[in-house]
């Protein structure tokens, strides 16, 4: 049964066209991870936000039974202009991200799926993705939805984190999850220096004014929060918690029947 | 001194070009109100979001001494696709709002000003304006900033409101401020029916998933919140409170010296 | 009857959504004022072109009975690149004006109206608006139309003006109408110097070659024509004359029945 | 001297790159004909507007001595949406014409020329070309200019025409010039029916409102004016007159020294 | 019978609208020549690529009986950025060429034709036109096709050429065909120097990596290949051979019935 | 030394920002894989083109010593409109691919790298990527280059293939390489039916006319070529051969010193 393990992985690009047609016919939900490829201090690889969003999606898909779920390839480049001064960072303009999501989501719809949930992994994408979901819902006449894995898993993260209560950047949370999911990519020898200022979640920022703040004015080493106490065990609990929260959401249903067409 | 009352009004389009050149030389802050022209139930005019954002800006400008302030004409059309089913509503696409703000802010910069604060008055614009501030800060190489009058005045509103603790839509808050600022435009005979469901501020929404929700699935009469207890006195206190909060912010300074170039 | 005075004002943003739906059902004409916010010498505010276009529209709407008329909020930013050297000026690119009018007119059509007349107040917009009306008529499959208040009121202006026979810029005509409509915004102490060269109406320019002429090569003080003899009485007659000409036009009918669908 | 006759033709695409470099070094004026390919009744070919604009340019270039002149290949497709119902018609959208002129004029500037005059041959392009000259002057930082051969040659045409005093469409004027310049392409057997209503020059239209009028509501056979009395002799006089008027203009100078950079 | 010679020429802009409607009704194929206006050494005019593509199309149309064929005006500006250093060159950006072809082909379809073949004459356009045919086939829902005259006539060219076996640039082939088709435009006194390096056809280039190579790094005098042995007789044979190959193709049919709708 | 294995993998998103800054300082070449996510019959996953392009890049990077190489994350969505009828396929429009590559390559340049080689894995991208390399070389003022792994490895593939001499689609070649690189994703039970018509490499297609051919008119089961004899051993030899050819190319140098700035 060579297909079984593949189908259990729920990954669009691991599936064949006939298998995807069958999933569309079952009205599967398509998760589209949206990450970023950007500096994460000296201890984490630049792909962290992309890797973690995709990891949570794959775990959630495996837990979502009986809801059929497909995980699309991840959009690994987001809005990271504020990280450009550190080097190693790739960024899109807002119109390019708009065009890319329009074409990818449009293709998903043409492939017969109707339910698309963007699952974001990068703080800098949060507001833009909400604005683009508004825009694309109208352009594509399809009820897109968006969450961030750290929003749907807000409580699960807070339950584990010791030095913070929400995700920051290259912090205890992201570093622990990296140690759980791709330990070889964490430069552990750099961890003793992996500490920076505390920052709030953009989506929970209570400062009345929003400005685009270059991240090098926030932290000299590219880290926000304190990664020194990161462990793989914490990371595993966080990944599992976020995935469970997302799969619960999928089972509970995101789209009311009246809007689902 | 025929100019004096005009200058005290701080309105760009009331000022002459020589006066504006002088204000640019003094490094005045330019407030750009961004509203919407959209349905607000049967009791309020469609211009409410636009009118209130501009009103708060003008009041704040008058209170901001010694900070010189100019209030640009207001962007009276925003993102209101979700209100289109009610009629009477005008909306822009995201790329059009992007282009419009690029050209207007670019002109303000070419006129010699360096500090621009967008002051929003419409919930549906909140996330898009943050995303566009990111984008335009990069495109124009200028440190734009954005707030909403109901964000900077969050506490001032909560202190007055009785049936809610934040602004909704055509609610106790918006109706009271309309009664204070432009009473002739409030259809008071419609107030007994001006009640709808309670909704959260989009920026404070704690639901993990964001979707674009057509407003007619939220409320049949276009109102969210309860406007029946609205009074001009409450409205005056709220407008004054929001304006004071905004002027305090302007005096405290929005841009750190290091980013202000 | 608090609504009555509002409805008599015919302003879209003063009206409620139900009232606008009713006007659309009556096939009301929508007037969209298009102005500019640009230098007008040392004696006039930068908003003149915007204010006067909107003023003529509101007066015409009040006179148009039995034709139902709605006046949309005015597009206060037009094409004013040639005035940028003076400061105090805001301008759009042609593609941005195109996008803005597409979205606003598209919204008006979606709100149920079928007849849209752009009423321009700025010489620099004249040719672009004709070109955009051609383009948008095709894009929106709707018979847009455009005039300028100084074109429809050409004769009414000539009957009053003493130092010129058509509108120039910050001239006897614009200054008189400003004195009539918003006297507090005219810097009367600057009037003795408010004189510049005579220029022709762009739309009546008989020079065989058209170039984009920076306005500071035409006049050092930003004024064309002679505003020294401006009076509020003249201005009132001109505003009234332009409004009557426009209302006559609305009553006479702009769209032939065969094209009106 | 094989080059001599070619250079006397002044046509960009007949010249070699070294010859064009030399002309750029002499600060030659580049004429860019802009036409249309559209229905012209049953008696004229669809290329008339394109052919005549180019013909006048070539004749003017030959007469312009001592002003060096190059005639670029003609933009044979313009704005002809209003002629589409007749078939045989090609049209651009306004943004496409904008992009095309931006790239062509930008290339001319990069080739070392500084003075570009668009010479239009199609009524439907008049207002758009003025608007685009404004826009491109700013975009390219170069002082573009535009005329129409029937504007610069207004008097020369009026002196010859018997049934009209300005160009219409497939009329006495266009038909006579076609008989003079490319007689084989005139279907003379169709001339007895080549008559339609009198229309005004768009640029001289005194009707206060501008709408985009489908040409098939103006004339059933695609002709405006009366071509029945067209002769090659008249056409030759008109072409010569327009060319002389244009060459006089080139010699008189279009760009003042202060703006010519 | 003044029409006969015109119709035999098959040129869109020589035909009248009624004639074109009749050809559309007969399901004529529309050939759209796409050339370039760019440096071709010191011996050839800049229009060569445009002239030759159009010449082959007109000859093929005359030979294609019984297939009805219309030759559209040629797109005389293509992608020639790599020739810009030589001067005398005009180029479009890829998005502008895309927009231009979209509008022209869209107009041809609206005029009632269904079969459009782009016939290219410039090496630098080859890959872009294939990519744009893919894109426009989807955008316009119409089965566009593209060839280059030197591809369809590959063998005919090789049979005649002595110093090369395919077209290069301003080479034996292009110069011979120019001597055949427009001898007055060839600067014969420059021929003794008209020799440059041998280059491959881009579409047959076997080098594994593609880069955009500035043509002045390939050849100092703008010529590739050896034009010294060019003759009109060779050119006539090549033009005839390419035209015959193209007309054979038209007769053989390009679109299978199943895709032709 | 936990970093060593990571650095040996040369993957941008596995590296940290400081490591990437160091590689930029060493003038490393950046390989950008460009694939597609599209139907590949019933036996191969939709990600094949993406996976194989990235696999060859990673292997080549490991073999390129002493040339420092970084492999960017792969562009997993390309131009696959012709595969849409099969379902399971994602595609971009040409303008979106253009925008995406502009932003990604622009970011790579801003990160300090100067040498970018796009390594394509999808036949449908070949011509578009050449056209976009031309365009982006000009837009970004940087010497981009492009190859396809099956072009640089043309001979290596031919040496191994038994039923064909070049890559087709879901064929002996792609299936063998899939068996070598990700065997669990190959549905071996489907192999007996995995045979379709022989097609040529688009880049080597000798048919004179190019059209956009819907792939379902070519093959009913989505396969071109004969995959029945595919083996992992063949695949390993092909992947190794392509990677060696690419690494040889990197060592030989792609950019001449004169153009490398």
Closest CA to B174 of B186, B159, B184: B186
Q: Please give the residue of chain F at the shortest CA–CA distance from A76.
A: F73
Count other Cβ atoms within 10 Å, centred on residue E142: 18
Indicate which of F85, F99, F131, F257 best probes the interface with E, i.e. most E CBs within 10 Å of its own CB. Answer: F131
Q: Do B46 and C16 touch (CB under 8 A)?
A: yes
Q: What are the tens digits of pLDDT across the range E222-254?
A: 999 999 999 999 999 999 999 999 999 999 999
In E121-167, beta strands by DSSP E: 145-148
Give residue D258's pLDDT band: very low, low, confident or very high (50, 70, 90).
low
The residues, ordered by sequence, that sit 6+ positions from E4 with a Cβ below 8 Å of its Cβ are none
| pLDDT tens column, D217-244 | 999 999 999 999 999 999 999 999 999 9
Delineate the domains of chain D, giving CATH numbers in brackets.
Answer: 12-201+210-252 (3.40.50.10310)
**Crossing angle of helices E94-110 and F126-140, rounded to 10°:** 130
Which residues in chain F touch residue E128, judged by CB atoms under 8 angstroms apart?
127, 131, 134
Instruction: Report yes or no: D118 and D100 within 8 Å, Cβ to Cβ.
Output: no
**B interface mutation test: which of C17, C104, C223 has the most B CBs within 10 A?**
C17
- Does residue B8 belong to the interface with chain C, where contact is any CB pair within 8 Å? no
Banded pLDDT at C207 (limits 50, 70, 90) = confident
E and B adjacent (3 or more CB pairs under 8 angstroms): no
For residue E256, name the pLDDT band (cuts at 50, 70, 90): confident
Q: Is the pLDDT of residue D97 over 70?
A: yes
Strand partners, A115: A29
Tell me what the mean pLDDT of segment B88-111 comes to: 98
Helix, strand and coil content of chain B, in percent to the nearest 5, comes to 50, 10, 35
* Per-residue pLDDT at B3: 34
Residue E2: predicted pLDDT: 34
| Contact flag A43-F2 (C-beta cutoff 8 Å) | no
How far is residue B237's CA from residue B226's CA, in Å, rounded to a whole number? 18
**pLDDT of residue B93 exceeding 60:** yes
Establish if C37 touches chain B: CB-CB under 8 angstroms. Answer: yes
| Chain E CA closest to residue D92 | E103
Do B230 and B157 meet the contact criterion of CB atoms below 8 Å apart? Answer: no
Nearest to F207 by CA among A28, B181, E249: E249
Question: Which of C13-17, C167-171, C203-207 bottoms out in mean pLDDT, i.e. has the lowest?
Answer: C203-207
F and C touch per CB criterion (3+ pairs under 8 A): no
Task: Note the pLDDT of residue D189.
Answer: 97
Touching check for B148 and chain C: CB below 8 Å? no
The answer, yes or no, to whether the previous bond of E66 is cis (omega within 30 of 0) is: yes
pLDDT one-digit tens code per residue, B8-55: 479 999 999 999 999 999 999 999 999 999 999 999 999 999 999 999
pLDDT at residue D6, rounded to an integer: 41
Given this model, what pLDDT does residue C6 score? 41
Whether the predicted pLDDT of D166 surpasses 70:
yes
CA distance F229 to F189: 13
Beta carbons within 10 angstroms of residue B93's beta carbon: 17
Q: How far is A16 from chain F (nearest CA, A)?
A: 4
Element (H, E) at C154: helix C154-160
**Cα–Cα distance, B84 to B89 (Å, whole number):** 6
Q: Is the ipTM of this complex over 0.90?
A: yes
pLDDT at F74 over 80: yes
Q: Which residue has the higher pLDDT, C203 or F25?
A: F25
Chain E, 80 to 109: residues with Cβ < 8 Å from chain D are 84, 86-93, 95-96, 99-100, 102-104, 107-108
Residue A196 contacts F, CB cutoff 8 Å: no
Q: Which range, of C8-22, D59-73, E5-19, F231-245, averages the lowest pLDDT?
A: E5-19
Q: Tell me: the pLDDT tens digits for A188-236?
A: 999 999 999 998 876 666 789 999 999 999 999 999 999 999 999 999 9
- pLDDT score of E137: 97
- The DSSP bridge partners found for residue A116 are A30
F259 in contact with chain E, both atoms CB, cutoff 8 A: yes
Q: How far apart are CA C23 and CA D69, in angstroms?
A: 58
Is this prediction's pTM over 0.90? yes
* Cα-Cα-Cα-Cα dihedral sign, residues E248, E250, E253, E254: positive
pLDDT in tens, C63-90: 999 999 999 999 999 999 999 999 999 9
pLDDT at B152: 97
pLDDT at position A130: 96
CB contact under 8 A, A212 and B143: yes
Q: What is the mean pLDDT of residues B155-182?
A: 96
Mean pLDDT confidence for F213-218: 92
Measured CA distances, E251 to D187, E143, E242, F255 (Å): 30, 17, 14, 45
Query: What does the pLDDT read at residue D257?
Result: 73
Mean pLDDT over E13-22 rounds to 97
Chain F CB contacts of A189 below 8 Å = 2
Listed residue (C223, C63, C248, C232) closest to C160, CA to CA: C232
CB F63, CB A34: distance < 8 Å: no
Q: Taking phi first (over 0 means left), then psi (-120 to 50 degrees means alpha), and beta for anything else, what does residue B126 get?
A: alpha
Could C217 and D137 be called an inter-chain contact, meaning their C-beta atoms sit closer than 8 Å? no
The sign of the dihedral angle between the CA atoms of F235, F238, F244, F250 is negative
Contact residues on chain C for D81, CB-CB shorter than 8 A: 134, 138
Alpha carbon distance E71, E49 (integer Å): 16
- pLDDT (tens digit per residue) in B59-86: 999 999 999 999 999 999 999 999 999 9
Q: Does E144 touch chain F (CB under 8 A)?
A: yes
pLDDT value at residue B2: 34
DSSP string for E25-82: HTTPEEEEEE--B--BTTTB-TTHHHHHHHHHHHHHHHH-TTS-EEEPPPB-----GG
Half-sphere exposure of E59 (CA within 13 A, CB side): 22
C6 interfaces chain B, CB cutoff of 8 Å: yes
| Average confidence (pLDDT) over C247-255 | 95
Task: Give me the pLDDT at residue F257, please.
Answer: 73
- pLDDT of B206: 72
Q: Residue A66: what are its φ and ψ, rounded to 5°? A: -95, 10
From chain F, pick out residues whose CB is under 8 angstroms from the CB of E144.
Answer: 211-212
pLDDT (average), residues E97-121: 98
Read off the pLDDT band of F204 (50, 70, 90): low
Chain A residues with beta carbon closer than 8 angstroms to that of F76? 13, 73
The minimal CB distance from F130 to the residues E132, E210, E255 is found for E210
Percent of chain B with pLDDT strictly greater than 70: 94
Which tokens hold the place of E102?
């979209």
Give the model's confidence band at D207: pLDDT under 50 very low, under 70 low, under 90 confident, else very high.
Answer: confident
Distance CA C232, CA C235 (A): 5
| B163 φ/ψ angles, rounded to the nearest 5 degrees | -100, 5
Residues of B in contact with A135 (CB under 8 A): 93-94
DSSP 8-state code for residue A66: T
Compute the distance between CA of residue D221 and CA of residue D215 in angstroms, rounded to an integer.
10
Contact flag C133-D245 (C-beta cutoff 8 Å)? no
Q: In what order do the strands lie in the sheet with C115-120?
A: C69-71, C29-34, C115-120, C145-148, D210-211
For C118-128, the pLDDT digits (tens) are 999 999 999 99
Spell out which residues of chain F touch residue E99, defining contact as CB-CB under 8 Å.
none
**pLDDT of residue D2 exceeding 70:** no
Quick one: average pLDDT of D200-222? 86
What integer pLDDT is reported at residue A200 of this predicted model? 82
In A81-232, beta strands by DSSP E = 115-120, 145-148, 210-211
Indicate the average pLDDT of chain A: 93
Summarize the confidence of residues B150-175 as an average pLDDT.
96
E259 touches chain F (CB under 8 A): yes
Q: Which chains contact D through at least 3 pairs of Cβ atoms less than 8 Å apart?
A: C, E
- The separation between CA C234 and the C-alpha centre of its own chain, rounded to angstroms, equals 18
Q: Could F14 and A89 be called an inter-chain contact, meaning their C-beta atoms sit closer than 8 Å?
A: no
Q: pLDDT category, E82, cuts 50, 70, 90? A: very high
pLDDT band at E202 (very low <50, low <70, confident <90, very high): low
């Amino acid at each position: 049964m060579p297909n079984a393990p593949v189908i259990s992985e729920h990954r669009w690009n691991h599936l064949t066209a006939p298998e995807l047609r069958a999933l569309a016919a079952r009205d599967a939900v398509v998760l589209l991870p949206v990450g970023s490829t950007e500096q994460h201090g000296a201890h984490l690889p630049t792909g962290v936000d992309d890797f973690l969003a995709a990891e949570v999606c794959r775990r959630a898909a495996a837990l979502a039974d009986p809801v059929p779920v497909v995980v699309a390839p991840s959009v690994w480049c987001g809005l990271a202009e504020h990280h450009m001064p550190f080097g190693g960072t790739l960024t899109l303009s807002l119109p390019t991200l708009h065009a890319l999501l329009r074409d990818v989501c449009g293709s998903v719809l043409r492939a017969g799926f109707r339910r698309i949930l963007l699952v974001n992994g990068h703080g800098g994408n949060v507001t833009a993705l909400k604005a683009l979901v508004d825009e694309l819902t109208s352009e594509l006449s399809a009820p897109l939805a968006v969450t961030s894995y750290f929003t749907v898993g807000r409580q699960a993260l807070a339950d584990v984190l010791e030095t913070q209560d929400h995700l920051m950047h290259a912090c205890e949370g992201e570093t622990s999850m990296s140690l759980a999911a791709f330990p070889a990519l964490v430069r552990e020898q750099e961890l003793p220096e992996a500490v920076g200022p505390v920052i709030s979640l953009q989506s929970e920022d209570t400062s009345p004014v929003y400005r685009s703040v270059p991240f090098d004015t926030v932290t000299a080493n590219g880290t926000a929060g304190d990664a020194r106490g990161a462990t793989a065990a914490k990371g595993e609990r966080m990944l599992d918690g976020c995935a469970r929260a997302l799969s619960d959401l999928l089972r509970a249903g995101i789209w009311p029947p009246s809007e689902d067409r």
